[in-house]
Amino acid sequence: MSPENLLVELFVEELPPKVLKNLGEAFSSVLADTLKNQGLSSENSLTTTFASPRRLAAHITNIAAVAVDKQISQKLMPVKVGLDANGNPTPALLKRLGGFNLDASAVSQLKREMDGKNEALFLDITIKGATLSDGLQNAINEALAKLPIPKVMTYQLADGWTSVNFVRPAHGLVALHGQDIVNISVLGLTSTNVTYGHRFEASVSPLVIKNADTYAEQLKTEGAVIASFEERRNEITRQLSAAATKLDLKPIEDDALLDEVTALVERPNVLVGEFETEYLEVPQECLILTMKANQKYFPLLDSNNNLTNQFLIVSNISPNDPSAVIGGNERVVRPRLADAKFFFDQDRKKTLESRLESLNKVVYHNKLGSQGERTQRVRAIAQAIGQQLGGDDLAAKADKAALLAKADLVTDMVGEFPELQGIMGRYYAQHEGLDNDVAFAIEDHYKPRFAEDNLPRNLTGICVALADKLETLVGMFGIGNIPTGDKDPFALRRHALGVIGCIEALDSSNKFGANFKVDIISWLNIALAQLKKFEVPQVTIDLVYDFILERRWNQLAPLFGIEIVGSVITIRPPINQIMKRVNAVLAFNKLLEAPALAAANKRIGNILKKVEAEVKAEVNTNLLQEPAEIALNEALSKVKPEADKLFEAGDYIASLKSLASLKAPVDAFFNNVMVNADDPALKANRLGLLATLHTAMNRVADLSKLAS
C-alpha cells in the first residue's frame, strides 16, 4: 500500500487565545515526531500546522499505512549468566528466550559479541512495523500529554459519569489517511471525517472532509474558516494595512496583540470605528492601552505617531451591513475611554508630592519595608550618583525625581493600568510645571524594561534608574533572593542588565573623559548603608558586583570569545571600561609577541602563587647579577612608565601594545636566570622583579587567560 498524506484534527471549544499558537505548534510537532520514531513517516515528510480558536490540527505528508519491519540485534545477557560451564542454556536464558516465543533450540542461533569488557549473547530478531492505527493512537496520546496547557479543565463526557481533563471540552476528532478514516480514540471521542466550520457563516455544517489534502480548502470555502494560524495572521495584517491606508493613517504595531487577535477569530474582517475627539485630551498611552488590553482594537496613528480618534476592529463575522458591528464596538469602547478620562482628571487634582504619605502604606517587600521607605533609600543613592556625575545641580534634580518616582503608584490611573507606572508620573509632573528633566526621569527610571527598550533620555533619568536598580539588587541579594537557574522572580538579571545599559549610555555620551570610571562599588555601599536596619551583610556588595559582571560576560563572551572577555572580567574592572579593554585585548592578541607574553604571564602567576610569603613588587638594583635580569629590569623601567601613562589616559590598546617590546628580555630571563636561587635575598629580589612585571602586564586584563 503506497504512502498517503495524513490529517488529524481535534475540534474543541474556544481555546485560550494567548497560548493557541504554542498549542498548535506543539500538537503538530509531537504528532510528527512520534510517527517518525515509529517508522511511519519518511525523511521528506512535511508537516503543516493548523490552529484556530476551535481546532488543533496537523497535515503530514508521506505517511505509510504500515511501518517497515525492523531487524535488530537484541542483547540478552552476559555469556557467563546465560550458559553454564558445559555451554548449556541456564534457566535465566530459557526464560528470556521464552519472552520471544523461543525455546532451547534457538540457543544455536545466538551470537557472542563483546559488550564492553564482557562477552554477551545477542539474538537477531525482527520487529514488526507498527500499523498506522496503532502508531497514530500512540502519537495523539503523546501529543495531548505534552501540550503546554496553562490550566487544565475537568469536564464530563456525554455518559454523565466519565470525567476527562483537557484544556477545553473536545467535541470532535478527525483522522484521515488519504480519504480513509484511521480508527483512533481520545478524550472519549472516536475518529471520523466530520468537522464543523464557522459558528454562523459556514455554508455547510457539519462538514465532511473528503480527504486529508482537501481539509484546509474545504474549511475555507465551505466552513468559512482559515485554519492556518499564520495565514490568518497574514490576512489580518493585510486588512489592517489596507484599512489604515485608506484613511492615510497607520495601525499601531504590536505582535502580541496581533497573535492574540489571530487566536480569537476564524475568518477576520477588519472594520473601522471611531470615538469622540474629547477623549484625545487624555494621554494617548492610556487610551492605547485600554483599547488594546480590554477591547483588542488596533488604535490608529497619524504621520507624527499621534493617536487619532479612529481605531480598527478585527471582527469574526462579515455581515453585508457592518454598521451594527461597528456601532456595538463603539458603544463598548466609550465607557472605557470615559473611565480613563475620569481617572486622569481626578488624579491631576492632587500633586505627586501630596501622595508620598500614601506610599508608606504600600508594602514593597515584607523584609524590606514600604515603598515610602524605599523611596528614601533610592533618593540617597540617586543624589550621590548625581553629585559624582554632575555636581550640585544634577544631584538636586536626581533627588527630586527619585522622591516623586513612585508617587504615581497610588494614583487611580496606575491602579487601573499598572503598565502605565512612570508614564503617568511624567504627565502629572509636567501638569504641575516641574522641570522636564525631572518629569522625564520619573518615567524613565524604570528603563530599560526589556532587552530592546530605550535607555533614560537624560542624566537625571540615568541617575534615578541606576539608583532604583542598584537598591533593588542590594536589597534582594541582601535578604537571600538570589536568582538560581532559570528562576528569577524579582527580575534581578533584568535589573543588572539595566545597570549595564545605563552605564554604557554614560560612557558613550563623551561627557566624562576617556578614562572615566563608574564607581559602582561606592554606590552599592551607599545602598547598603541605607539598608542597615534590615541587617544586609557587607558581603552583598561583592555578590551584586560579581552578578553584574557575570551579566556583562554573558553579553560579550559569545561575541568576542571566552578567553578574551574572561581576561578582562577576571580583574573586575569598572563596568564602563570592560568593552574598551576587550577591544584592547583583541588588538594585543593579534601581535606576534602575544602568545609568548601570555604564556610568560601565566608562568609568572604560577610562580608567585607558590610563594607562601607576600611578594612585594619591588626591585633592588644592587642585587641584580645576571645580565638577563639586569636587561629585563632596564626594559621594564622604560616600558612600565609609558604603559602606565597610556593606561591612566584610557588608551588601553596602546598600553597593551607597549608591552610587546618585553618579549625578548622576558624570554632571556626565563632561559638564563634561576628564580629560586639559594640566596634568600637574591630569590626575593627576583620574585619582586617578576611581581613588578606581572603588575605591569595585568593592568588592562589578565593576559594569562590568553595562554593556550
Q: What is the pLDDT of residues 85-102, one digit of tens each?
A: 888 899 998 888 887 778
Q: How many CB atoms lie within 10 A of CB 276?
A: 12
> In the prediction, which pLDDT does 506 show?
84
Look at residue 1 and tell me whether its pLDDT is greater than 60: no
Q: How far apart are the first and last CA of the chain?
A: 60
Give the 3-state secondary structure of residue 395. helix
Q: Quick one: pLDDT at residue 129? A: 79
Q: What is the mean pLDDT of residues 176-196?
A: 96
pLDDT at 668: 94
What integer is the mean pLDDT of 544-568?
A: 95
Q: How confident is the model at residue 110 (pLDDT cuts 50, 70, 90)?
A: confident
Please say if the pLDDT value at position 510 is more than 70. no
> What domains lie within the chain, and their CATH numbers?
4-67+131-221 (3.30.70), 70-127 (no CATH), 229-347 (no CATH), 357-560 (1.10.3210), 578-706 (1.10.730)
Reply yes or no on whether the pLDDT at 514 is more than 80: no
| pLDDT score, position 195 | 97
Stretch among 127-136, 193-202, 280-289, 594-603 having the lowest mean pLDDT: 127-136
Rounded CA-CA distance 68/135 in Å is 13
Instruction: Evaluate whether 309 touches 280 at the Cβ level (below 8 Å).
Output: yes
Distance, CA of 495 to CA of 493 (rounded, Å): 5
In tens, the pLDDT along 210-254 reads 999 999 999 999 999 999 999 999 999 999 999 999 999 999 999
Q: Is 301 or 512 the better-scoring residue by pLDDT?
A: 301
Bigger pLDDT: 327 or 107? Answer: 327
pLDDT of residue 475: 97
CA–CA gap between residue 39 and residue 127 (Å, rounded): 11
Q: Report the pLDDT averaged over residues 483-490.
A: 89
Calculate mean pLDDT across residues 574-593: 93
Which stretch of 21-30, 122-131, 474-483, 680-689 has the lowest confidence by average pLDDT? 122-131
SS3 assignment, position 534:
helix
C-alpha torsion 492→497→499→500, nearest 10? 150
Q: What is the pLDDT of residue 515?
A: 65
Give the phi and the psi of residue 531 in degrees, each rounded to 5.
Answer: -100, 15
The pLDDT value given to residue 146: 95
What pLDDT score was predicted for residue 560? 96
Q: Which residue has the higher pLDDT, 486 or 241?
A: 241
Distance of CA 32 to the CA centre of its chain: 27
**Interval 637-690: pLDDT, tens:** 999 999 999 999 889 999 999 999 999 999 999 999 999 888 989 999 999 999
Residue 387: pLDDT band (50, 70, 90) is: very high
CB 455 within 8 A of CB 462: yes
Q: What pLDDT was estimated at residue 612?
A: 82
Predicted pLDDT at 242: 97
Beta strands, E only, 182-275: 185-186, 189-190, 194-195, 207-208, 250-251, 269-274
Q: Mean pLDDT for the chain? A: 93
The percent of residues above 70 in pLDDT, for the chain, comes to 99
Inter-residue contact 554 to 532 (CB < 8 Å): no
Q: What is the pLDDT of residue 158?
A: 84
Which of 697, 522, 700 is closest to 604 using CA atoms? 697
